[in-house]
Structure 1
Amino acid sequence: MNVANLSIKEIRERLEILDEVPKDFLQYLKEDKRKGVQALVRQVEAVLARQEQLARQWTEMTEYERMLRSKGHVHVFGIDEVGRGPLAGPVVAGAVCLPEDFYLPGLNDSKKLPAATREAFYEVIMRDALAVGIGIVDARRIDEINILAATKEAMRLAIDNAGMMPDACLLDAVQLSGLACEQVPIIGGDGKSVSIAAASIVAKVTRDKMMAEYAAQYPQYGFDKNAGYGTAEHVAAIARFGPTPLHRMTFAGVKEQA
């Protein structure tokens, strides 16, 4: 192929429609001395390097899933929660069972992803997962039983609401009593397992939507911006307006200002 006969615009258009850049085509581009073509080569190589890095990350983050499937476990659930630390709102857990051939490069701990990426990944997970369950425990229940117990209750609810019983569960740090399947608690699991990462995204997007809805009911507290966490503005609003039914009365930031 003589890419010298192609304009830089034509080369760019060809690259845009290719799902994968053939190695021989990339080599032809490298041999083209035009500065514009060399700029395109650098862009392509950066994309390829990023794809390779994400593929390696995916392999690393599916190690636990592959280990459990090698033991005969078909329905491997990832379990995670969001909302342990806020002064207001529920704790929300997600339970997700991904197909063995699922591939979503870049899937990671929800806290490490921009909101737009989280929401896009959420749509893919909800569409392609074998099962998704969500568990929600509100502020009153958190006050009644404490946040750790409420977190575990939300996780059990998420499993129960998935519509499928797990053969094995990967959990972010905690272990659940009375669960009749193998459990693998992983510290920092939402950054080490794609199943837990998927659960963290489902939980995070679900809770953020809830807090945005609560912001319309209680606009003084900025729930759409702080998600119930104890920002200076949020604490000041509690001191000025008092706590809402969404606030956790046993949490220090609320008790001190209420």
Structure 2
Amino acid sequence: MDKYIESELVEYKNICGIDEVGRGSLFGPVVAAAIIMNLDDVIDEVNDSKKITRKKRILLAREIEEKSLAVGIGIVDNKTIDKINIKQATRLAMKLALEDMIQKFNINPGIVLIDAENIDSHIKQKSIVHGDSLSYNIAAASIYAKVFRDNMIIKLAEEFPYYSLETNMGYGTKKHYEGLLKYGKTIFHRESFLKKDIR
């Protein structure tokens, strides 16, 4: 536990970590997770979700859910992203995830650790740059949010098979752009993220 920032925050009970996924995607929502992990039962392999294979993330997400004290999800759809911009949408998803966690588990965090963001909340918070590498709770949230959102996109890929969504998760790969140029946008694409000739 010493390698994580939580070891410096022992005066706080119920440390919550929040992270988001899907910020740079052309398609679908931005999703955030808020998690309070049991710091007496640390999962050694928890790390920044981008450094872990999909197969491993799926296994870890299950273990994270089992060993967490509380977990919540916040989802902000593509229409809202277009309306309020991605930065505000990210903050909103994080706030919704925190509220979801508190409501579902009736638990109040002593402090909220957020990956390089601030949210509108009365609860004490700490913004940590590279938080998904430095904080155990943020890393757990990053894995959980990633697996949750990937599952959403993979399901939508069955409905919209022309964009290779099951492999790019909505990000702007060559195959995704080829699909956009040939078939146009879907109701789940973020208009504000698309090139002018596709909008």
Same fold judged by TM-score > 0.5?
Answer: yes
Residue in 1 aligned with 2:135? Answer: 193
Match of residue 170, structure 1, among 113, 126, 129: 113
Unmatched runs of 5 consecutive residues or more in structure 1: 1-57
Is residue 150 from structure 1 mapped to residue 89 from structure 2 by the alignment? yes
Q: How far apart are the structure 2 equivalents of 1:232 and 1:114?
A: 21
Write the deviation string for residues 114-156 of structure 1: whole angstroms up to 9, x where unpaired: 1111111101111110000010111001001000000000001
Aligned to 1:245: 187
> Hey, what does 2:125 align to over in structure 1?
183
Residue 257 of structure 1 corresponds to 198
Give deviations 1:75-117, integer Å, cap 9, x for gaps. 1100000000010011000000011202111210000001111
Paired position in structure 2 for 1:10: none
Does structure 2 conserve the Cα–Cα contact (< 8 Å) formed by 1:77 and 1:97? yes
> Among 123, 132, 149, which residue is 2:71 paired with?
132
* TM-score using structure 2 length: 0.94
Contact 1:122 1:205 (C-alpha < 8 Å) held by counterparts: yes
- The aligned amino acid for 1:118 is R
Unmatched segments (≥5 aa) in structure 2: none
Matched position secondary structure for 1:246: coil
Q: Which amino acid aligns with 2:127?
A: P
Larger of the two Rg values belongs to structure:
1
The one-letter code of the counterpart of 1:149 is Q
Whether 2:173 is the aligned partner of 1:228: answer no
**Equivalents in 1 of 2:191, 2:142: separation in Å?**
26
Kindly tell me the number of residue pairs found equivalent between the two proteins.
Answer: 195
8 Å contact 1:159–1:165 — kept in the other structure?
no
SS at match of 1:220: coil
Shift of 1:191: 0.7
Does structure 2 retain, via aligned residues, the 8 Å contact 1:235–1:257?
no
TM-score normalised over the length of structure 1: 0.73
Which of the two has greater strand per residue?
2
Alignment match, 2:150: 208
